[in-house]
Amino acid sequence: MTRGPTRRRGSVLVLTLIMLFLLAALVATLATSVQAQAQSAVQGRELGASLVAADDALARGKARLVWEFAHNYRGQQPDLKAMTPGAAHPAWLTTPEGTVVDIACARVGEDFLDFLLTARSSGPAPRELEMVVRIRYQLTTVPRLRGGADGCLVAFGPVTVTGNFEIDGRDHPAHDPYTVLAGTGSPGITATGRVTLQGSSVAVGGTADGVDHTPASRGTAKDGEHYDAQTTVWSEPDAEGNVRGVPDSADAYFGLQHGDLKAAAQASGTYFTDLAAYNAFARSEGGAAAAGKIVYLEVPNGSKLETLELPRNPAPEHKPAVVVVAGQDPTRHDVQVGPVHCNNGIYQGVLLADRIMNMNGNGALIGQVVTFTDTGPSVGSGTFNLYFSNEVLTNLPRTDGGVGGDLPTGVEPVVLMWREAAAR
């Protein structure tokens, strides 16, 4: 009997099975390798994305650090310029991608501060980067606003005063409306248009009680002393031949650029777009919240505001305020305000508005009122008094939001170190 072919078929089967086993093992090894490589690629992409997110967060933190120094961002927390070595603020910045940046003060020098920024990215492969940024800067004194002795009531247009209303251009202390100081005061009213006094209202300036409290009046004035109607003071050349020109906004009145007062109020948290919110602030802390601040109420042009309250900032701390009421385009002069109240209190400072319909409430303002409108204010209609004060006008707030001090300028950032730290 012959068995050759059967034996050969069995050998081929065994060899085939061995080859299939080896091929399966090779395929399994290849699949495992491919899977490992895919996982490694995913992890590499995740690590790369986390690194990019952390690096981007550090760049954002550096930019914010420079901006806050350059813009003197006082009143915000943390106050970076007041930080001492070791002081830290976690979660100082969070990016839209969820990366958190901590800030800490590493060193303080005579003209620089070193800050350690730490960025921690989120996700399945978090990374942590650190950067030390040195901020070099110079200090420049921030000038105070300075009101001029143009008048107790300055109107760029005609004025009508009614009721039991007194406008006193003689000089008074900031805390005492009943004391008259000898020396330089102002006309009671200075207006580019006509001035009309009705009822028992009175404007006082120039010579009173035999004492010359104000400079010689300009233009056509009642009794030659008390007010300056149809004034040409803004179109007259000064001793050096310069013409001031009629200011078209509150900023221009103080010699600023448009938007400076608004920006100062925004920096100090005293910028409002709603009358109710403004009035609530004016009443807060008994009016003390406004002391030494620039307060800005911006409303749509053409608005008619009723019952605007002036803050009763306490005396005699000599922290007068500046209250500005203006439209979104402050050069249109079409926002109407009235009545203006300071009920049984005293407001130290300057009020600037387009058109004031009336002021009442048994109160007093020590400082100056400035209006901008061709139709003219009609103030009065109640017991209210305006008193001029040089002391108020020389102690108005600074344009850095009223907090005073010096403004960092020449801000220059230098990156001293950038490194990767262990992920938390």
Give the span between the Cα atoms of 104 and 93, in whole angstroms: 12
- Helix segments in 284-376, DSSP class H: none
| Domain assignment of residue 33, yes or no | no
Q: Does residue 221 sit in the same domain as residue 358?
A: yes
| Domain assignment of residue 381, yes or no | yes
Give the span between the Cα atoms of 53 and 49, in whole angstroms: 6
Q: Does residue 186 sit in the same domain as residue 291?
A: yes
Q: Does residue 250 sit in the same domain as residue 304?
A: yes
| Domain assignment of residue 344, yes or no | yes
Give the residues across from 196 on adjacent strands: 160
Give the residues across from 305 on adjacent strands: 337
Quick check: 201 pLDDT over 90?
no
- 390 vs 27, more confident: 390
Give the span between the Cα atoms of 7 and 282, in whole angstroms: 109
Quick check: 285 pLDDT over 90?
no
| Domain assignment of residue 318, yes or no | yes
Q: Does residue 229 sit in the same domain as residue 374?
A: yes
- Helix segments in 212-311, DSSP class H: 250-253, 260-268, 275-283
Quick check: 379 pLDDT over 80?
no
Mean pLDDT of 324-345: 89
Give the span between the Cα atoms of 26 and 137, in whole angstroms: 67
Give per-residue burial for 129-147: e unless 16+ CB within 10 Å, then b: bbbbbbbebeeeebebbeb
Q: In this predicted structure, what is the pLDDT of residue 75? A: 45
Q: Does residue 164 sit in the same domain as residue 232?
A: yes
Percent of the chain scoring above 90 in pLDDT: 17
CB 251 within 8 A of CB 257: yes
Q: Does residue 179 sit in the same domain as residue 280?
A: yes
Q: Does residue 178 sit in the same domain as residue 130?
A: no
Give the span between the Cα atoms of 303 and 360, in whole angstroms: 20
What's the mean per-residue pLDDT of the chain?
78
Q: Does residue 79 sit in the same domain as residue 183?
A: no
Q: How many CA atoms lie within 13 A of 393 on its CB side?
A: 23
Residue that the structure tokens 């004060």 belong to:
389
Quick check: 330 pLDDT over 80?
yes
- In this prediction, residue 209 has a pLDDT band, given cuts at 50, 70 and 90, of very low
Residue that the structure tokens 């608004």 belong to:
262
Radius of gyration of the chain (CA): 36
| Domain assignment of residue 46, yes or no | no
Reported pTM: 0.62
- In this prediction, residue 6 has a pLDDT band, given cuts at 50, 70 and 90, of low
Q: In this predicted structure, what is the pLDDT of residue 318? A: 65
Residue 11 DSSP SS3: helix
| Domain assignment of residue 32, yes or no | no
Give the span between the Cα atoms of 394 and 220, in whole angstroms: 28
Q: Does residue 384 sit in the same domain as residue 411?
A: no
Q: In this predicted structure, what is the pLDDT of residue 223? A: 40
- In this prediction, residue 215 has a pLDDT band, given cuts at 50, 70 and 90, of very low
- 232 vs 328, more confident: 328
Quick check: 136 pLDDT over 50?
yes
Residue 64 DSSP SS3: helix
Q: Does residue 124 sit in the same domain as residue 255?
A: no
Give the span between the Cα atoms of 279 and 183, in whole angstroms: 36
Of the candidate ranges 168-182, 268-282, 397-411, the one whose mean pLDDT is the lowest: 397-411
Q: How many domains does the chain have?
A: 2
Mean pLDDT of 158-162: 83
Mean pLDDT of 395-399: 82
CA angle 243, 215, 318 (to 5 degrees): 90
Domain ranges, residue 97: 61-142+406-421
Residues 222, 223, 224, 226: is their CA dihedral positive or negative?
negative
| Domain assignment of residue 148, yes or no | no
| Domain assignment of residue 41, yes or no | no
Q: In this predicted structure, what is the pLDDT of residue 272? A: 96
Give the span between the Cα atoms of 281 and 272, in whole angstroms: 9
In 3D space, the residue among 99, 76, 97, 101 whose CA is nearest the CA of residue 88 turns out to be 101
Contacts of 323 (CB under 8 A, 6+ apart): 290, 295, 297, 310, 311, 347, 349, 350, 351, 352
Q: Does residue 160 sit in the same domain as residue 247?
A: yes
Q: Does residue 252 sit in the same domain as residue 288?
A: yes
Q: In this predicted structure, what is the pLDDT of residue 200? A: 64
Give the residues across from 407 on adjacent strands: 140
